[in-house]
Amino acid sequence: MDARRTIEQKRDGHRLSPDAWEAFVRAYAAGDITDYQMSAFLMACFLRGLDREETAALTNAMLHSGGRLDLSHLARPRIDKHSTGGVGDKTSLILAPLISALGVAVPMMSGRGLGHTGGTLDKLEAIPGFRTRLTLAEAAAQIEAIGCALLGQTEEIAPADRKMYALRDATATVESIPLISASIMSKKLAEGLTGLVLDVKRGSGAFLTDLDAELELARTMVSLGADHGCPVVALLTAMDRPLGRACGNALETEEAILALRGEGPEDLMEVTFALGAEMLLLAGVAREPGDARRMMDHAIASGRAAAQFQRIIEAQGGNPAVVDDPALLPQAAVRDVHAAPRAGVIAGVEPRAIGYGITALGGGRTKVSDVVDPTVGFVITARPGARVERGDPLATIFARDAAGIAAGRACLAQAITIADRAEAPLPLVSHRVSGAGVTPYSAA
């Protein structure tokens, strides 16, 4: 095929037919279209947009670019959760073991860091030996045996998303409702799910920072799920500050382990339990949110959730001892405390600046070939609205060397603002979007 004709059509704002989407994506996955042609095409899509039918056609084309997990013989419900991307967002690492410990199969295909946001695969690979490149057969066998597999896109499953995701990260073409929707839903639909829960981030640190656009993104993905008979529930959750305290791959993995042991920070647990309850309700394992919450509390308090994480780590070649001793995770060479430069109230902790700060320390990518350093990042104890005195600790910087500490300090000075008063942060969970429409969120 002549890729230039299709790029030209999108560049000039024309609609593409389902056949054109299918042919273009298939040719790219097969290596017949180059990365530079796909990059130009993605920018045309970003600038010109896609209508609802084109978004569905792109999703289908990406889904058809690879194989699917066939788990239909399992008696258990198959439920996954995916986030549109945030900073400090380690809920997937907690929910996969927690929900699979409660009898639900969780086939979880995740991504790497994208833009300023972190990626579940990068966090998992902080665990020594952990292998995220599973074949379809390995993933299916592991889910059958222990109820969960945590995997990345490969040549075999969601290959188009694997390549397009990496290009979008490097070409500033992430923040697009159709491109995000097709990326997420193509890989989730390849998992053979009976239900999906989405965490759609809102606020200044989300890819889409306007509430109408965030709701539109949620509605689009819910309806793409319905096209394929997969019930989808989306919760809108706050990303106007990082979630939890740890930001950076190994640091977040450690915080997720602490959460599985019952020692997670309150905001992280509130969002995790809200998403987990939706997973258990969709699975039919819990009848109402209160039951779901009790089940999750018990799985954590009894040690079942942490033991399930050990089982998953062991099955994927990692060192399960990190769950008992998180100090076995890779550690930064140097660390230093960042203190408040003045007295006042914490007016903001800007996730975007924190995310780019992690990249500056070596913990994220600016080009496809970059290798991430799992050890670097921040543990931020400053919470919006809290009163601080001059010299109070706000965060700890984890870096490779003194230059990294200086870069981390510069990032935090910009990201954490102290003022005389602060506006109220966004509610942690604000809206619920399902096939029945949009409602204000209530945990009860």
Residue ranges in contact with ligand URA by CB under 6 A: 84-85, 111, 114, 165, 174, 179-180, 183-184
Cβ neighbors of 275 (< 8 A, separation 6 or more) are 81, 91, 95, 197, 199, 235, 237
- The reply to whether 64 belongs to the active site is no
User: Least distance (Å) from ligand URA to the CB of residue 299?
Assistant: 27
Of 21 and 398, nearer to ligand URA (C-beta) is 21
Q: Which of 183, 240, 245, 352 is catalytic?
A: 183
Of 121 and 256, nearer to ligand URA (C-beta) is 121
User: Least distance (Å) from ligand URA to the CB of residue 165?
Assistant: 6
- Distance, C-alpha 147 to centroid of its chain: 20
How far is CA 66 from each of CA 60, 181, 204, 267, rounded to the nearest angstrom? 11, 18, 34, 37
User: Least distance (Å) from ligand URA to the CB of residue 148?
Assistant: 19
**Element at 186 (helix H, strand E):** helix 177-189
Q: What is the dihedral of CA 149, 63, 185, 102, to 10 degrees?
A: -20
User: Least distance (Å) from ligand URA to the CB of residue 56?
Assistant: 16
- The reply to whether 421 belongs to the active site is no
User: Least distance (Å) from ligand URA to the CB of residue 169?
Assistant: 9
The token pair at 250 is: 């190994």
Return the closest-CA partner of residue 150 out of 98, 86, 76: 98
Helix axes 18-29, 35-48, angle to 10 degrees: 150
- The reply to whether 212 belongs to the active site is no
Q: Which of 10, 81, 82, 90 is catalytic?
A: 82
Q: Which of 80, 122, 161, 373 is catalytic?
A: 161
Of 84 and 132, nearer to ligand URA (C-beta) is 84
- The reply to whether 72 belongs to the active site is no
- Degrees to nearest 5, angle at CA 251 with 369 and 367: 15
Of 112 and 241, nearer to ligand URA (C-beta) is 112
Of 43 and 180, nearer to ligand URA (C-beta) is 180
Q: Which of 112, 162, 168, 188 is catalytic?
A: 168
Of 180 and 418, nearer to ligand URA (C-beta) is 180
Alpha helices in 199-303 (DSSP H): 211-227, 249-260, 266-283, 289-301
Q: Which of 10, 112, 163, 187 is catalytic?
A: 187
- Degrees to nearest 5, angle at CA 361 with 358 and 367: 80
Phi, psi of 33 (to 5 degrees): -120, 135
Of 174 and 233, nearer to ligand URA (C-beta) is 174
User: Least distance (Å) from ligand URA to the CB of residue 214?
Assistant: 13
Q: Which residue has the closest beta carbon to ligand URA?
A: 183
- Strands 344-349 and 387-388: what pairing? antiparallel
Q: Sign (positive/negative) of CA torsion 332, 360, 205, 437? A: negative
Contact between residue 227 and residue 63 where contact means Cβ atoms under 8 Å apart: no
The token pair at 402 is: 């003194």
User: Least distance (Å) from ligand URA to the CB of residue 129?
Assistant: 25
- The reply to whether 183 belongs to the active site is yes
- Degrees to nearest 5, angle at CA 65 with 61 and 70: 105
Looking at the annotation, which residues are catalytic? 82, 161, 168, 183, 187
